[in-house]
């Protein structure tokens, strides 16, 4: 649309910030403007009005007019099927592959069953490795997997200096996930030196050491914590490289940052931009020359749902949009069925096409830092970067990221943040569409790929390996062994264990998991009893009085798998009680306006209890009536912001569904 052709009122564009503030203050009728400020995680807040910043210079993000790389996750255990997926992904527009092995903390129960060079040759059959980007998700064996990929590509006639490999290893994310390392930090540092020596000797392109913030995000960290911990991981890797003899000016090009992109559009844009500012500040503090940071973003696993998974398409689209706007160099979109199982061809195609449409049709990559100049974005970027830098400094003061992990301070911080977010989820103040808000009981299942991960097998051989050193001799020896047919598992066993280290583990969890457990229990009940657990909506008065609260209550209880007979109007109390008895429900929820409650709620409560209702609740909070109603047996009130999970779990006890073995689905 051409803005010049819009007939704006004469004074519209002359309106100042003070004019907007004055207008808001008139509406507030005496309250202060900051009464509208919204607190958000990390001690930050969102203001109702921001001053535009038209003179703000765009940040140096991704190279101008260059689209971000589309990285597709590759994790099918059956190699022939994985190969077919790889070819379809690359032909369908993907720029690179993320090879996920079962040992990765991000395998989510799947992973490539790649053990030897022959396996990887079959996986890459028909692929031109020199034309794409590889990312490795291999857990403890990132360095060995790198050697396996290099040796495989040699067999394919591709020299190592033609390869681009990013994020090959990050021992810290494995440490965070499992709470244990098999070797000492000193041994891991020597292996890091060996890795870089091997890469430099063979001319491998890419940022091999990964500072991964996703593990903290998935455990519940705030954006402040995710950025601060990622920055702390970056400086940890850089110090390792420097101690390994890498020239200071070359250190930054061997590291990269990985962050999560959520469906919170502005927070994701701001997080990506803040990462650039933090990196520039880190280089300046270290007196290193200005260099770009490779930033990869993946749509958040934590936000994905198993229930109504189609909504995940919206979540991942917003997340990918924000990551692209924020300047990510590469993006992975998780297929919308990822939380249910391995995605089929349709789900993988949607994941690719989400990014292709944003890049090719929406032309998002054509503008450098398109969010620049927005008052909201500029001010919040500065605030987030400032808070993340302060958190990073607190980690450094404690002795660095390794000490902070081992002492438990990181786990304490992240767990506290997670508990706060869990409260928002449990109370519905952070609604999850299709799960805790507008759930669909009895929804149709979606198709996923049904496979089981094969057994890893027995160790076939133990080989002698040299000590790691900056010349890369350990990885050279591993590469030679792999070329002779040795398997990754043999390499893993041959390395042995030294005195390891531990820290409080930070397992990831999806936000929707607590509600999904209840829905699963409800479906088990339905299979056993032939009917789903029920809630009776005791609607009082005319439709105009009870519809809003009855609709709320219906959705509220459906979040736990409870079904109702719909919204009805009862002519009298006898009809309501008769309908209750016929429903077979043990739980009833009174629904109407406060006015009608004052006239009929107490009578309805007593009659429902007498008719056999084991639990009676009321939709809303009529404060003047609560004392009397509670004294006469009202069990609870349900309203926007109450503890949904607690209420639903109590209802499960009433209908005889045990939650004793309840576990979080991760």
What is the band of 563 on the pLDDT scale with cuts at 50, 70, 90? very high
The Cα 151–Cα 553 span in angstroms is: 61
Burial class (CB in 10 A: 0-12, 13-18, 19+), 7: exposed
Reply yes or no on whether the pLDDT at 255 is more than 70.
yes
> What's the N-to-C CA distance of the chain in angstroms?
45
Mean pLDDT, the chain, rounded, equals: 91
Average pLDDT over residues 10-23: 78
pLDDT in tens, 227-236: 999 999 999 9
3-state helix, strand, coil in the chain (%, to 5): 50, 10, 40
Residues 242/195, Cβ–Cβ less than 8 Å: no
**DSSP one-letter code for 279:** H
Q: What tens digit of pLDDT does each residue of 478-489 get?
A: 999 999 988 888
DSSP string covering 404-433, please? HHHHTHHHHHHHHHHHHHHHHHHTTSS--B
* pLDDT above 70: residue 459: no
Rounded Cα distance, 343 and 334, in Å: 9
Structure tokens belonging to residue 654: 């009433």
Given a contact cutoff of 8 angstroms between Cβ atoms, the answer to whether 334 and 316 are in contact is yes
Percent of the chain having pLDDT more than 70? 95
Residue 346 or 28, more confident: 346
Is residue 28 a contact partner of residue 35, using CB atoms and an 8 Å limit? yes
98-135 burial string, b = 16+ CB within 10 Å, else e? bbbbbbbbbbbebbbbbbbbebbbebbeebebeebbbb
Tokens representing residue 640 in the block:
């926007």
Which residues, 6+ apart, have CB-to-CB distance to 359 below 8 Å?
Answer: 67, 68, 70, 324, 365
Who contacts 528 (Cβ-Cβ below 8 Å, separation ≥6)? none
Residue 369 vs residues 177, 374, 541, 658: alpha-carbon distances, Å: 34, 11, 56, 52
Q: Which residue, 556, 350, 315, 557, is CA-closest to 446?
A: 350
Helix (H, G, I), strand (E, B) or coil at 617: strand
Place of tokens 């195609």: 349
> Could you read off the pLDDT of 60-110 as tens digits, one per residue?
888 766 899 999 999 999 999 999 999 999 999 999 999 999 888 889 889
The answer to whether residue 579 scores a pLDDT higher than 70 is yes
Given its phi and psi angles, is residue 296 left (phi above 0), alpha (psi -120 to 50 degrees) or beta? beta
Instruction: Give SS3 for 558.
Output: helix
Q: How many CB atoms lie within 10 A of CB 63?
A: 13
Residue 8: per-residue pLDDT: 66
More confident residue, 184 or 318: 318
Query: Which whole number is the average pLDDT over 129-137?
Result: 96
* Separation between Cα atoms, residue 506 and residue 517, nearest integer Å: 21
Number of neighbouring beta carbons within 10 Å of residue 249: 10
Is-contact 541 212, C-beta < 8 A? no
What is residue 469's predicted lDDT score, i.e. its pLDDT?
85
Nearest residue to 328 (alpha-carbon basis) of 238, 229, 254, 259: 259
Q: Write a three-state SS string for 193-204.
A: HHHHHHHHHHCC
Q: What is the 3-state secondary structure (H, E, C) of 22-70?
A: HHHHHHHCCCCHHHHCEEECCCEEECCCCCCCCCCCCCCCCCCCCCCEE
Partner residues linked to 134 by β-bridges: 97, 165
Q: How confident is the model at residue 14 (pLDDT cuts 50, 70, 90)?
A: confident
The confidence band for 438, taking pLDDT boundaries of 50, 70 and 90, is very high
- Give the per-residue pLDDT at 35: 85
Buried b or exposed e, range 531-564, using 16+ CB within 10 angstroms: ebbbbbbbbbbeeebbbebbebbbbbbbbbbbbb
For 390-437, the pLDDT digits (tens) are 999 999 999 999 999 999 999 999 999 999 999 999 999 999 999 999
SS (H, E, C) 58-81: CCCCCCCCCCCEEEEEECCCCHHH
177-221: per-residue pLDDT in tens? Answer: 999 988 888 888 898 899 999 999 999 988 999 999 999 999 999
pTM over 0.95: no
**Which range is least confidently modeled, 315-319, 420-424, 496-500?**
496-500
What the block records as the tokens of 606 is 């007593």
Mean pLDDT of 492-520: 87
At 376 the three-state DSSP class reads helix
DSSP, res 471 = T
β-strand pairing of 44-46 with 209-212? unpaired
Structure confidence at residue 12 (pLDDT): 67
Quickly state the pLDDT bin for 567 (edges 50, 70, 90).
Answer: confident
**Residue 2 corresponds to which tokens in the numbers above?**
């051409």
How many residues does the structure list for the chain? 666
Three-state DSSP state, 210:
strand
Q: What is the spatial distance between Cα 335 and Cα 304, in angstroms, rounded to a whole number?
A: 10
């Amino acid at each position: 649309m051409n803005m010049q052709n819009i007939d704006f009122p004469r004074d519209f564009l002359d309106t100042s910030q003070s004019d907007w503030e004055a207008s808001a203050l008139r509406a507030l009728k005496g309250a202060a403007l900051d009464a509208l400020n919204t607190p958000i995680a990390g001690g930050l807040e969102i203001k109702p009005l921001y001053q535009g910043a038209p003179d703000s210079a765009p940040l140096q993000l991704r190279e101008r007019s260059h689209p971000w790389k589309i990285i597709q996750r590759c994790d099918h255990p059956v190699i022939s099927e994985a190969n077919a997926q790889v070819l379809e992904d690359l032909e369908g527009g993907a720029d690179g592959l993320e090879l996920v092995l079962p040992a990765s903390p991000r395998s989510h129960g799947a992973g490539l069953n790649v053990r030897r060079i022959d396996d990887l040759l079959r996986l890459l059959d028909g692929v031109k490795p020199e034309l794409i980007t590889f990312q490795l998700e291999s857990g403890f064996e990132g360095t060995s997997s790198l050697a396996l990929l290099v040796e495989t590509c040699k067999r394919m006639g591709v020299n190592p200096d033609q390869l681009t490999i990013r994020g090959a290893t990050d021992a810290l994310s494995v440490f965070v996930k499992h709470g244990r390392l098999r070797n000492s930090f000193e041994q891991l540092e020597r292996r890091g030196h060996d890795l870089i020596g091997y890469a430099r000797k063979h001319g491998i392109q890419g940022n091999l050491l990964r500072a991964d913030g996703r593990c903290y995000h998935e455990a519940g960290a705030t954006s402040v914590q995710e950025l601060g911990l990622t920055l702390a991981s970056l400086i940890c890797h850089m110090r390792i490289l420097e101690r390994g003899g890498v020239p200071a000016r070359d250190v930054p090009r061997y590291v990269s940052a990985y962050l999560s992109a959520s469906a919170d559009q502005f927070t994701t844009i701001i997080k990506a931009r803040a990462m650039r500012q933090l990196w520039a500040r880190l280089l300046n503090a270290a007196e290193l020359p200005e260099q770009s940071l490779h930033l990869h973003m993946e749509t958040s696993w934590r936000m994905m749902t198993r229930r109504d998974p189609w909504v995940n398409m919206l979540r991942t689209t917003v997340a990918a949009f924000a990551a692209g706007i924020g300047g990510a160099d590469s993006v992975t979109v998780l297929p919308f069925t990822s939380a249910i199982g391995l995605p089929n061809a349709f789900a993988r195609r949607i994941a690719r096409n989400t990014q292709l449409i944003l890049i090719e049709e929406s032309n998002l990559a054509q503008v450098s830092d398109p969010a620049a100049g927005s008052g909201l974005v500029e001010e919040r970027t500065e605030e987030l970067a400032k808070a993340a830098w302060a958190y990073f400094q607190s980690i450094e003061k404690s002795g660095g990221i390794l000490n902070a992990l081992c002492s438990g301070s990181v786990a304490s911080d992240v767990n506290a943040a997670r508990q706060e977010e869990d409260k928002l989820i449990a109370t519905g103040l952070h609604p999850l569409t299709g799960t805790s808000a507008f759930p669909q009981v009895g929804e149709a299942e979606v198709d996923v790929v049904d496979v089981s991960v094969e057994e890893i097998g027995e160790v076939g051989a133990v080989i002698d390996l040299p000590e790691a050193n900056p010349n890369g001799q350990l990885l050279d020896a591993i590469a030679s062994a792999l070329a002779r047919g040795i398997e990754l598992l043999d390499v893993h066993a041959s390395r042995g264990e030294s005195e390891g280290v531990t820290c409080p583990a930070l397992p990831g969890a999806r936000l929707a998991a607590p509600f999904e457990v209840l829905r699963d229990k409800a479906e088990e009940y339905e299979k056993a009893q032939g009917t789903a657990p029920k809630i009776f909506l005791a609607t009082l008065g005319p439709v105009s009085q009870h519809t809003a609260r009855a609709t709320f209550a219906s959705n509220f209880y459906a979040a736990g798998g409870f079904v109702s007979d719909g919204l009805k109007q009862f002519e009298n109390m006898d009809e309501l009680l008769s309908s209750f008895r016929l429903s077979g429900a043990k739980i009833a929820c009174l629904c109407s306006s406060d006015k009608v409650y004052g006239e009929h709620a107490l009578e309805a409560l007593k009659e429902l209890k007498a008719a056999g209702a084991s639990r009676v609740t009321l939709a809303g909070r009529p404060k003047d009536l609560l004392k009397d109603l509670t004294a006469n047996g009202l069990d609870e009130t349900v309203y926007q912001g109450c503890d949904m999970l607690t209420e639903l779990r109590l209802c499960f006890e009433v209908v005889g569904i045990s939650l004793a073995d309840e576990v979080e689905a991760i």
